[in-house]
Chains A and B, each alone.
Chain A
Amino acid sequence: MKSNTFIILLIIGLSSCLDLDPLLFNPNTDIEEYKLDDFEGEQEIEVEAYQVADSLTTTFTVEVGERKEKIYAVYIGDMDSITTDTVILYLHGNAGHIDYYWPRAKLLANVNGQNNYGVLIIDYRGYGLSEGSPSEDNMYEDSRAAVSWLAEQGLSSDRFMMYGFSLGSAPAIELTAKGAGLTPFKLMIESPFASSEVMVQDGSGLSLPGSFFTNLKIDNAEEIKRINQPLYWIHGTDDDFLALDTHGEIVFQNHQGQYKEAFRIPGANHGDVPKIMGYETYIKSLENFILKP
Protein backbone atom coordinates (compact mmCIF):
# COMPACT_ATOMS: atom_id res chain seq x y z
CA MET A 1 0.00 0.00 0.00
CA LYS A 2 2.79 2.34 0.94
CA SER A 3 4.63 1.58 -2.28
CA ASN A 4 1.48 2.26 -4.33
CA THR A 5 1.01 5.61 -2.61
CA PHE A 6 4.63 6.45 -3.28
CA ILE A 7 4.28 5.63 -6.97
CA ILE A 8 1.13 7.75 -7.29
CA LEU A 9 2.77 10.69 -5.56
CA LEU A 10 5.83 10.27 -7.73
CA ILE A 11 3.74 10.35 -10.89
CA ILE A 12 1.85 13.45 -9.76
CA GLY A 13 5.08 15.09 -8.76
CA LEU A 14 6.78 14.33 -12.04
CA SER A 15 3.79 15.51 -13.98
CA SER A 16 4.02 19.02 -12.63
CA CYS A 17 7.72 19.62 -12.26
CA LEU A 18 8.82 20.65 -15.71
CA ASP A 19 7.60 23.50 -17.86
CA LEU A 20 9.16 23.57 -21.28
CA ASP A 21 7.90 26.99 -22.24
CA PRO A 22 10.82 29.00 -20.84
CA LEU A 23 13.08 26.85 -22.98
CA LEU A 24 11.40 28.15 -26.10
CA PHE A 25 12.93 31.57 -25.76
CA ASN A 26 16.60 31.95 -26.45
CA PRO A 27 17.64 35.43 -25.39
CA ASN A 28 21.27 36.45 -25.42
CA THR A 29 22.13 38.71 -22.52
CA ASP A 30 25.87 38.37 -22.81
CA ILE A 31 26.49 42.01 -23.62
CA GLU A 32 27.22 45.07 -21.49
CA GLU A 33 26.26 47.63 -24.09
CA TYR A 34 24.83 47.80 -27.59
CA LYS A 35 27.66 48.19 -30.09
CA LEU A 36 25.66 48.13 -33.32
CA ASP A 37 28.21 48.68 -36.11
CA ASP A 38 31.06 47.77 -33.77
CA PHE A 39 29.51 44.50 -32.67
CA GLU A 40 31.92 41.64 -33.32
CA GLY A 41 29.78 38.72 -32.21
CA GLU A 42 27.89 36.26 -34.33
CA GLN A 43 25.52 37.60 -36.97
CA GLU A 44 23.83 35.56 -39.66
CA ILE A 45 24.28 38.24 -42.30
CA GLU A 46 26.77 41.05 -42.86
CA VAL A 47 25.85 44.13 -44.83
CA GLU A 48 28.89 46.38 -44.96
CA ALA A 49 27.70 47.99 -48.16
CA TYR A 50 24.57 49.24 -46.43
CA GLN A 51 25.22 51.79 -43.74
CA VAL A 52 23.23 54.30 -41.74
CA ALA A 53 24.40 57.63 -40.44
CA ASP A 54 25.68 57.47 -36.85
CA SER A 55 23.99 60.77 -36.17
CA LEU A 56 20.67 59.18 -37.04
CA THR A 57 20.98 56.27 -34.61
CA THR A 58 19.45 56.65 -31.15
CA THR A 59 19.42 54.06 -28.37
CA PHE A 60 16.84 54.54 -25.63
CA THR A 61 14.63 52.69 -23.19
CA VAL A 62 10.88 52.32 -22.77
CA GLU A 63 9.16 51.23 -19.56
CA VAL A 64 6.82 48.28 -19.87
CA GLY A 65 4.53 46.24 -17.66
CA GLU A 66 3.38 46.69 -14.10
CA ARG A 67 6.93 46.51 -12.83
CA LYS A 68 7.99 49.32 -15.14
CA GLU A 69 10.80 47.21 -16.51
CA LYS A 70 13.01 48.86 -19.10
CA ILE A 71 13.31 47.47 -22.59
CA TYR A 72 15.89 48.79 -25.02
CA ALA A 73 15.17 50.17 -28.44
CA VAL A 74 17.20 51.66 -31.26
CA TYR A 75 15.69 54.14 -33.67
CA ILE A 76 17.36 54.66 -37.03
CA GLY A 77 16.28 58.01 -38.39
CA ASP A 78 15.62 61.56 -37.35
CA MET A 79 13.67 61.43 -34.09
CA ASP A 80 12.41 64.96 -34.68
CA SER A 81 10.74 64.11 -37.96
CA ILE A 82 8.76 61.04 -36.95
CA THR A 83 5.70 63.27 -37.22
CA THR A 84 6.17 63.26 -40.99
CA ASP A 85 8.35 60.21 -41.73
CA THR A 86 7.30 56.70 -42.64
CA VAL A 87 8.53 54.18 -40.07
CA ILE A 88 9.07 50.41 -40.03
CA LEU A 89 8.91 48.61 -36.70
CA TYR A 90 11.27 45.62 -36.94
CA LEU A 91 10.35 42.73 -34.62
CA HIS A 92 13.23 40.34 -34.39
CA GLY A 93 13.51 36.57 -33.98
CA ASN A 94 14.24 34.42 -30.98
CA ALA A 95 18.02 34.27 -30.98
CA GLY A 96 20.34 37.03 -29.89
CA HIS A 97 19.52 40.68 -29.39
CA ILE A 98 19.52 43.99 -31.22
CA ASP A 99 23.21 43.78 -32.13
CA TYR A 100 22.62 40.37 -33.68
CA TYR A 101 19.87 41.75 -35.89
CA TRP A 102 21.52 45.10 -36.54
CA PRO A 103 22.46 44.28 -40.16
CA ARG A 104 18.81 43.47 -40.86
CA ALA A 105 17.65 46.77 -39.43
CA LYS A 106 20.21 48.56 -41.57
CA LEU A 107 18.90 46.87 -44.69
CA LEU A 108 15.43 48.22 -43.93
CA ALA A 109 16.91 51.65 -43.35
CA ASN A 110 18.31 51.50 -46.88
CA VAL A 111 15.06 50.70 -48.63
CA ASN A 112 14.35 53.37 -51.24
CA GLY A 113 17.57 55.13 -50.34
CA GLN A 114 19.64 55.52 -47.18
CA ASN A 115 17.60 56.59 -44.18
CA ASN A 116 14.54 57.09 -46.32
CA TYR A 117 12.38 55.24 -43.81
CA GLY A 118 12.74 55.35 -40.07
CA VAL A 119 13.37 51.95 -38.48
CA LEU A 120 12.67 51.03 -34.87
CA ILE A 121 14.07 47.80 -33.44
CA ILE A 122 13.51 46.62 -29.88
CA ASP A 123 14.75 43.92 -27.56
CA TYR A 124 11.87 42.11 -25.91
CA ARG A 125 12.03 41.66 -22.16
CA GLY A 126 14.92 39.39 -21.23
CA TYR A 127 16.78 39.99 -24.50
CA GLY A 128 20.02 41.94 -24.70
CA LEU A 129 20.01 44.59 -22.00
CA SER A 130 16.24 44.66 -21.61
CA GLU A 131 15.07 43.87 -18.10
CA GLY A 132 12.62 41.15 -17.14
CA SER A 133 11.97 37.68 -18.50
CA PRO A 134 10.88 36.59 -21.95
CA SER A 135 7.39 35.22 -22.44
CA GLU A 136 4.74 35.26 -25.11
CA ASP A 137 2.64 37.86 -23.29
CA ASN A 138 5.66 40.02 -22.57
CA MET A 139 6.67 39.89 -26.22
CA TYR A 140 3.27 41.23 -27.28
CA GLU A 141 3.26 43.85 -24.54
CA ASP A 142 6.76 45.03 -25.43
CA SER A 143 5.83 45.30 -29.09
CA ARG A 144 2.72 47.30 -28.16
CA ALA A 145 4.92 49.58 -26.08
CA ALA A 146 7.08 50.20 -29.13
CA VAL A 147 4.01 51.09 -31.17
CA SER A 148 2.79 53.40 -28.41
CA TRP A 149 6.15 55.12 -28.30
CA LEU A 150 5.97 55.75 -32.04
CA ALA A 151 2.46 57.13 -31.66
CA GLU A 152 3.65 59.45 -28.91
CA GLN A 153 6.33 60.76 -31.28
CA GLY A 154 3.62 61.71 -33.75
CA LEU A 155 3.53 58.73 -36.09
CA SER A 156 0.19 57.97 -37.70
CA SER A 157 -1.14 54.67 -39.03
CA ASP A 158 -0.86 55.72 -42.66
CA ARG A 159 2.92 56.03 -42.24
CA PHE A 160 3.43 52.95 -40.08
CA MET A 161 4.58 49.49 -41.21
CA MET A 162 5.68 46.37 -39.38
CA TYR A 163 8.25 43.74 -40.31
CA GLY A 164 8.37 40.47 -38.36
CA PHE A 165 11.10 37.87 -38.69
CA SER A 166 10.57 34.29 -37.44
CA LEU A 167 9.40 34.64 -33.82
CA GLY A 168 8.84 38.33 -34.53
CA SER A 169 6.17 37.37 -37.02
CA ALA A 170 3.94 36.53 -34.04
CA PRO A 171 3.74 40.03 -32.51
CA ALA A 172 3.71 41.56 -36.01
CA ILE A 173 0.66 39.53 -36.99
CA GLU A 174 -0.98 39.76 -33.57
CA LEU A 175 -0.69 43.54 -33.37
CA THR A 176 -1.76 44.03 -36.97
CA ALA A 177 -4.80 41.80 -36.48
CA LYS A 178 -5.90 43.23 -33.16
CA GLY A 179 -4.54 46.74 -33.35
CA ALA A 180 -2.18 48.44 -30.95
CA GLY A 181 -3.03 52.12 -31.06
CA LEU A 182 -1.54 52.41 -34.53
CA THR A 183 -2.53 50.06 -37.30
CA PRO A 184 0.14 49.43 -39.92
CA PHE A 185 -0.85 50.12 -43.49
CA LYS A 186 1.41 47.32 -44.73
CA LEU A 187 2.80 44.16 -43.15
CA MET A 188 6.02 42.33 -43.99
CA ILE A 189 6.90 38.91 -42.62
CA GLU A 190 9.97 36.77 -43.17
CA SER A 191 10.24 33.04 -42.43
CA PRO A 192 7.13 32.96 -40.21
CA PHE A 193 6.00 29.91 -38.33
CA ALA A 194 2.43 28.75 -38.59
CA SER A 195 1.85 27.63 -35.00
CA SER A 196 3.40 25.58 -32.25
CA GLU A 197 1.02 22.81 -33.28
CA VAL A 198 2.60 22.61 -36.72
CA MET A 199 6.01 22.56 -35.08
CA VAL A 200 5.02 19.60 -32.95
CA GLN A 201 3.36 17.75 -35.81
CA ASP A 202 6.35 18.27 -38.08
CA GLY A 203 8.61 16.79 -35.44
CA SER A 204 6.48 13.82 -34.45
CA GLY A 205 4.82 12.86 -37.72
CA LEU A 206 1.47 12.60 -35.94
CA SER A 207 -1.48 14.95 -35.51
CA LEU A 208 -0.56 15.88 -31.96
CA PRO A 209 -1.94 19.05 -30.42
CA GLY A 210 0.50 21.74 -29.38
CA SER A 211 -0.86 21.59 -25.85
CA PHE A 212 0.91 18.27 -25.33
CA PHE A 213 4.11 20.26 -24.92
CA THR A 214 3.55 23.95 -24.53
CA ASN A 215 1.26 26.68 -23.25
CA LEU A 216 2.17 28.94 -26.15
CA LYS A 217 -0.89 30.29 -27.93
CA ILE A 218 0.94 31.66 -30.95
CA ASP A 219 -1.13 30.84 -34.00
CA ASN A 220 -0.05 32.93 -36.95
CA ALA A 221 -1.88 30.73 -39.42
CA GLU A 222 -5.22 31.65 -37.85
CA GLU A 223 -4.47 35.22 -36.79
CA ILE A 224 -3.44 36.27 -40.27
CA LYS A 225 -6.95 35.53 -41.52
CA ARG A 226 -8.03 38.70 -39.76
CA ILE A 227 -5.55 40.89 -41.61
CA ASN A 228 -6.57 42.90 -44.65
CA GLN A 229 -3.46 44.98 -45.04
CA PRO A 230 -1.19 44.26 -48.00
CA LEU A 231 1.26 41.48 -47.15
CA TYR A 232 4.90 40.99 -48.12
CA TRP A 233 5.87 37.38 -47.43
CA ILE A 234 9.30 35.87 -47.93
CA HIS A 235 10.60 32.39 -47.04
CA GLY A 236 13.58 30.20 -47.94
CA THR A 237 12.90 26.95 -49.76
CA ASP A 238 15.57 25.17 -47.70
CA ASP A 239 14.40 26.39 -44.31
CA ASP A 240 15.33 23.49 -42.02
CA PHE A 241 13.77 25.05 -38.95
CA LEU A 242 10.40 26.35 -40.09
CA ALA A 243 9.74 24.43 -43.27
CA LEU A 244 8.38 26.39 -46.20
CA ASP A 245 5.58 23.92 -46.93
CA THR A 246 4.21 23.40 -43.45
CA HIS A 247 4.83 26.81 -41.90
CA GLY A 248 5.37 29.56 -44.42
CA GLU A 249 2.94 28.56 -47.13
CA ILE A 250 -0.05 28.19 -44.84
CA VAL A 251 0.50 31.63 -43.35
CA PHE A 252 0.63 33.07 -46.84
CA GLN A 253 -2.42 31.11 -48.02
CA ASN A 254 -4.51 32.19 -45.04
CA HIS A 255 -4.00 35.90 -45.62
CA GLN A 256 -7.39 37.14 -46.79
CA GLY A 257 -6.42 40.63 -47.84
CA GLN A 258 -6.75 41.93 -51.35
CA TYR A 259 -3.06 42.18 -52.06
CA LYS A 260 -0.04 40.07 -51.18
CA GLU A 261 3.37 39.32 -52.60
CA ALA A 262 5.25 36.06 -52.13
CA PHE A 263 8.97 35.46 -52.45
CA ARG A 264 10.17 31.88 -52.23
CA ILE A 265 13.94 32.06 -52.18
CA PRO A 266 15.66 28.97 -53.65
CA GLY A 267 18.49 27.65 -51.51
CA ALA A 268 17.81 29.97 -48.59
CA ASN A 269 17.67 28.59 -45.06
CA HIS A 270 15.95 30.12 -42.05
CA GLY A 271 18.22 33.01 -41.29
CA ASP A 272 19.90 33.90 -44.57
CA VAL A 273 17.03 34.81 -46.86
CA PRO A 274 18.21 38.38 -47.63
CA LYS A 275 21.75 37.15 -48.22
CA ILE A 276 20.79 34.33 -50.59
CA MET A 277 18.25 36.49 -52.38
CA GLY A 278 20.87 39.20 -52.78
CA TYR A 279 20.72 42.31 -50.68
CA GLU A 280 20.00 44.64 -53.56
CA THR A 281 17.22 42.39 -54.88
CA TYR A 282 15.81 42.08 -51.38
CA ILE A 283 15.81 45.80 -50.80
CA LYS A 284 14.29 46.46 -54.20
CA SER A 285 11.50 43.95 -53.55
CA LEU A 286 10.64 45.73 -50.31
CA GLU A 287 10.76 49.09 -52.01
CA ASN A 288 8.39 47.94 -54.75
CA PHE A 289 5.99 46.53 -52.19
CA ILE A 290 6.00 49.61 -50.03
CA LEU A 291 5.58 52.01 -52.91
CA LYS A 292 2.83 50.04 -54.59
CA PRO A 293 -0.37 52.09 -54.29
Chain B
Amino acid sequence: MSKEYFKFLILVACTLGACTAQRVVKPLAKSEQQISVNLGGPLIGFGSLTIPIPLSSINYANGISDKLTVHGGLQTTSLLYRTFQLDAGATYGLLENKGWTPGVSISGSINVLSDMRERNSRFYPQLDANLYWDYGKNHFMYVGSTNWIELRNIKAHDERQEKRILSGIQFGNTWNTDRWSYTVESKWLAPTRSSLNSVVDYKTYSFGGEPLGAVGLYFGIARRF
Protein backbone atom coordinates (compact mmCIF):
# COMPACT_ATOMS: atom_id res chain seq x y z
CA MET B 1 0.00 0.00 0.00
CA SER B 2 0.99 3.61 -0.29
CA LYS B 3 3.14 4.63 2.61
CA GLU B 4 2.50 8.33 2.29
CA TYR B 5 -1.25 8.17 2.11
CA PHE B 6 -1.74 5.48 4.66
CA LYS B 7 0.49 7.46 6.97
CA PHE B 8 -2.12 10.17 6.90
CA LEU B 9 -4.73 7.69 7.94
CA ILE B 10 -2.67 6.50 10.84
CA LEU B 11 -1.86 10.01 11.89
CA VAL B 12 -5.53 10.63 12.10
CA ALA B 13 -5.82 7.48 14.17
CA CYS B 14 -3.54 9.11 16.67
CA THR B 15 -6.24 11.59 17.56
CA LEU B 16 -7.83 8.75 19.41
CA GLY B 17 -4.70 7.63 21.16
CA ALA B 18 -4.22 10.09 23.99
CA CYS B 19 -2.92 12.66 21.55
CA THR B 20 -4.45 15.59 23.39
CA ALA B 21 -3.27 18.21 25.80
CA GLN B 22 -4.26 18.24 29.47
CA ARG B 23 -7.82 19.44 29.98
CA VAL B 24 -7.39 20.99 33.44
CA VAL B 25 -4.16 20.94 35.45
CA LYS B 26 -4.93 23.48 38.14
CA PRO B 27 -8.49 23.38 39.46
CA LEU B 28 -10.65 26.40 38.69
CA ALA B 29 -12.08 28.56 41.44
CA LYS B 30 -15.57 27.70 42.66
CA SER B 31 -18.25 28.66 40.07
CA GLU B 32 -15.62 29.63 37.55
CA GLN B 33 -16.16 28.35 34.03
CA GLN B 34 -13.76 27.93 31.16
CA ILE B 35 -14.00 27.26 27.44
CA SER B 36 -10.82 26.28 25.68
CA VAL B 37 -9.55 25.24 22.31
CA ASN B 38 -6.52 22.99 21.85
CA LEU B 39 -4.50 22.48 18.73
CA GLY B 40 -1.57 20.18 18.15
CA GLY B 41 -0.39 16.61 18.14
CA PRO B 42 2.59 14.33 17.67
CA LEU B 43 5.55 15.69 15.76
CA ILE B 44 6.05 14.11 12.39
CA GLY B 45 8.28 14.49 9.40
CA PHE B 46 6.45 16.35 6.70
CA GLY B 47 8.69 16.76 3.71
CA SER B 48 11.82 18.41 5.07
CA LEU B 49 9.92 19.91 8.01
CA THR B 50 9.00 18.64 11.44
CA ILE B 51 5.48 19.70 12.37
CA PRO B 52 2.88 18.81 14.97
CA ILE B 53 -0.20 17.12 13.56
CA PRO B 54 -2.88 19.81 13.68
CA LEU B 55 -5.44 18.02 15.81
CA SER B 56 -8.06 20.13 17.50
CA SER B 57 -10.55 19.92 20.34
CA ILE B 58 -12.96 22.20 22.15
CA ASN B 59 -13.42 21.86 25.90
CA TYR B 60 -15.51 23.12 28.77
CA ALA B 61 -14.70 23.15 32.48
CA ASN B 62 -16.64 24.21 35.55
CA GLY B 63 -15.33 24.76 39.06
CA ILE B 64 -17.59 22.85 41.43
CA SER B 65 -15.47 23.89 44.36
CA ASP B 66 -12.04 25.40 44.74
CA LYS B 67 -10.61 21.90 44.60
CA LEU B 68 -12.90 20.10 42.19
CA THR B 69 -13.36 20.97 38.52
CA VAL B 70 -15.46 18.95 36.10
CA HIS B 71 -14.65 19.09 32.43
CA GLY B 72 -15.55 17.71 29.05
CA GLY B 73 -14.19 17.87 25.55
CA LEU B 74 -15.00 17.12 21.95
CA GLN B 75 -12.37 16.12 19.39
CA THR B 76 -13.26 18.23 16.40
CA THR B 77 -10.70 16.75 14.03
CA SER B 78 -12.11 13.26 14.37
CA LEU B 79 -15.51 14.56 13.33
CA LEU B 80 -14.04 15.19 9.93
CA TYR B 81 -13.80 11.48 9.33
CA ARG B 82 -17.09 10.68 10.98
CA THR B 83 -15.92 9.49 14.36
CA PHE B 84 -17.20 11.10 17.52
CA GLN B 85 -14.82 11.33 20.42
CA LEU B 86 -16.03 12.83 23.68
CA ASP B 87 -14.34 12.92 27.03
CA ALA B 88 -15.72 13.83 30.42
CA GLY B 89 -14.05 13.85 33.79
CA ALA B 90 -12.99 15.72 36.85
CA THR B 91 -9.80 17.18 38.24
CA TYR B 92 -9.21 17.31 41.97
CA GLY B 93 -6.59 19.41 43.68
CA LEU B 94 -4.82 17.39 46.35
CA LEU B 95 -2.26 19.99 47.35
CA GLU B 96 -1.76 23.65 46.66
CA ASN B 97 1.58 24.97 45.54
CA LYS B 98 3.65 26.52 48.33
CA GLY B 99 7.11 27.68 47.42
CA TRP B 100 9.03 24.78 45.94
CA THR B 101 6.40 22.32 47.09
CA PRO B 102 4.35 21.67 44.01
CA GLY B 103 0.64 21.71 43.72
CA VAL B 104 -0.74 18.28 43.01
CA SER B 105 -3.84 17.44 41.01
CA ILE B 106 -5.31 14.19 39.79
CA SER B 107 -7.84 13.68 37.03
CA GLY B 108 -10.13 10.86 36.06
CA SER B 109 -11.89 10.85 32.73
CA ILE B 110 -13.75 8.60 30.38
CA ASN B 111 -13.24 8.73 26.64
CA VAL B 112 -16.13 7.55 24.50
CA LEU B 113 -15.61 6.97 20.80
CA SER B 114 -18.16 5.98 18.22
CA ASP B 115 -18.06 5.92 14.44
CA MET B 116 -20.85 6.73 12.04
CA ARG B 117 -19.85 4.00 9.58
CA GLU B 118 -20.61 0.80 11.44
CA ARG B 119 -21.63 2.19 14.82
CA ASN B 120 -18.64 0.63 16.54
CA SER B 121 -17.83 2.14 19.91
CA ARG B 122 -14.97 2.10 22.35
CA PHE B 123 -14.62 3.25 25.94
CA TYR B 124 -11.33 4.15 27.59
CA PRO B 125 -10.86 5.30 31.18
CA GLN B 126 -8.10 7.81 31.65
CA LEU B 127 -6.12 8.66 34.78
CA ASP B 128 -3.82 11.68 34.94
CA ALA B 129 -1.71 13.28 37.61
CA ASN B 130 0.15 16.57 37.51
CA LEU B 131 2.54 18.60 39.64
CA TYR B 132 2.46 22.36 39.14
CA TRP B 133 4.36 25.38 40.31
CA ASP B 134 3.20 28.99 40.18
CA TYR B 135 5.88 31.46 39.22
CA GLY B 136 6.11 35.05 38.19
CA LYS B 137 2.89 37.01 38.30
CA ASN B 138 0.69 34.96 36.04
CA HIS B 139 2.42 31.74 35.10
CA PHE B 140 2.44 28.17 36.22
CA MET B 141 4.34 25.25 34.82
CA TYR B 142 3.49 21.62 35.21
CA VAL B 143 4.73 18.10 34.70
CA GLY B 144 2.72 14.94 34.91
CA SER B 145 1.57 11.67 33.49
CA THR B 146 -1.45 10.66 31.44
CA ASN B 147 -2.66 7.09 31.14
CA TRP B 148 -5.29 5.55 28.90
CA ILE B 149 -6.47 2.15 30.07
CA GLU B 150 -7.22 -0.55 27.52
CA LEU B 151 -10.10 -2.66 28.78
CA ARG B 152 -10.25 -5.19 25.97
CA ASN B 153 -8.38 -8.47 26.30
CA ILE B 154 -8.04 -9.04 22.60
CA LYS B 155 -7.24 -6.92 19.60
CA ALA B 156 -7.69 -7.54 15.90
CA HIS B 157 -7.97 -11.16 14.77
CA ASP B 158 -8.23 -12.41 18.35
CA GLU B 159 -4.65 -11.56 19.10
CA ARG B 160 -3.98 -11.10 22.78
CA GLN B 161 -3.85 -7.48 23.98
CA GLU B 162 -0.66 -7.42 25.98
CA LYS B 163 -0.25 -3.71 26.55
CA ARG B 164 -3.07 -2.48 28.73
CA ILE B 165 -1.93 1.03 29.52
CA LEU B 166 -1.00 3.71 27.02
CA SER B 167 0.99 6.26 28.98
CA GLY B 168 2.44 9.63 28.32
CA ILE B 169 4.58 12.16 30.14
CA GLN B 170 3.77 15.81 29.73
CA PHE B 171 5.18 19.14 30.75
CA GLY B 172 3.83 22.54 29.95
CA ASN B 173 3.43 26.17 30.83
CA THR B 174 0.33 28.29 31.22
CA TRP B 175 0.20 32.05 31.15
CA ASN B 176 -2.90 33.60 32.69
CA THR B 177 -4.33 37.02 32.11
CA ASP B 178 -7.49 38.30 33.75
CA ARG B 179 -9.78 36.21 31.58
CA TRP B 180 -7.56 34.38 29.15
CA SER B 181 -5.04 31.56 29.46
CA TYR B 182 -2.43 30.46 26.97
CA THR B 183 -0.81 27.06 27.26
CA VAL B 184 2.05 25.32 25.54
CA GLU B 185 2.51 21.64 26.32
CA SER B 186 4.78 18.88 25.15
CA LYS B 187 3.90 15.27 25.68
CA TRP B 188 5.96 12.14 25.19
CA LEU B 189 3.45 9.47 24.27
CA ALA B 190 4.11 5.80 24.86
CA PRO B 191 7.74 6.36 25.87
CA THR B 192 8.34 2.66 26.47
CA ARG B 193 7.08 1.49 23.08
CA SER B 194 9.42 1.22 20.14
CA SER B 195 8.46 3.21 17.08
CA LEU B 196 11.33 1.78 15.05
CA ASN B 197 9.07 -0.04 12.61
CA SER B 198 6.17 2.35 12.92
CA VAL B 199 4.33 3.28 9.78
CA VAL B 200 4.48 6.88 10.97
CA ASP B 201 7.67 8.90 10.85
CA TYR B 202 7.40 10.13 14.42
CA LYS B 203 10.00 12.66 15.49
CA THR B 204 10.77 11.44 18.95
CA TYR B 205 13.49 10.60 21.44
CA SER B 206 15.79 7.69 20.69
CA PHE B 207 17.82 5.50 22.98
CA GLY B 208 20.49 3.27 21.58
CA GLY B 209 19.34 4.13 18.09
CA GLU B 210 15.78 3.00 18.78
CA PRO B 211 13.07 5.66 18.56
CA LEU B 212 10.53 5.40 21.36
CA GLY B 213 6.91 6.54 21.29
CA ALA B 214 6.00 9.90 19.86
CA VAL B 215 6.56 13.46 21.02
CA GLY B 216 3.63 15.84 20.77
CA LEU B 217 3.38 19.61 20.87
CA TYR B 218 0.13 21.35 21.78
CA PHE B 219 -1.17 24.88 22.03
CA GLY B 220 -4.20 25.90 24.00
CA ILE B 221 -6.19 29.06 24.51
CA ALA B 222 -8.86 29.36 27.17
CA ARG B 223 -11.43 31.95 28.19
CA ARG B 224 -12.66 31.99 31.78
CA PHE B 225 -15.88 33.55 32.90
Contacts and interface: CB of A to CB of B under 8 A. Distances in A.
A205 B163 contact: yes
Contacts of B118: 209, 211
Nearest to B193: A205
Contacts of B161: 207
B157 A221 contact: yes
Interface stretch (A18-26, A48-56, A64-72, A172-180): A18-26
A1 interface: no
A23 B197 CA distance: 22
Q: For the side of the interface on B, what is the size category?
A: 35 or more
Contact of B13 (A18, A24, A212, A215): A212
A209 B13 contact: no
Nearest to B157: A221
B17 A15 contact: no
Contacts of B9: 20, 23-24, 199-200, 203, 213-214
A167 B199 CA distance: 15
A209 B115 contact: yes
Given A25-B2, A94-B1, A270-B3, A20 B199 contact: no
A93 B1 CA distance: 6
A14 interface: yes
A194 interface: yes
A280 interface: no
B84 to A, nearest CB: 7
Contacts of A238: 197
Given A206-B150, A207-B155, A212-B13, A18 B80 contact: yes
A79 B50 CA distance: 52
Interface of B: 1-6, 8-14, 16-17, 74, 76, 79-84, 113, 115-118, 120, 122, 124, 148, 150, 152, 154-157, 159, 161, 163, 166, 190, 193, 196-200
Going nearest first, the 10 A-B pairs with the smallest beta carbon separation are A26-B2, A203-B10, A204-B17, A211-B118, A94-B1, A209-B120, A18-B80, A197-B156, A94-B2, A14-B79
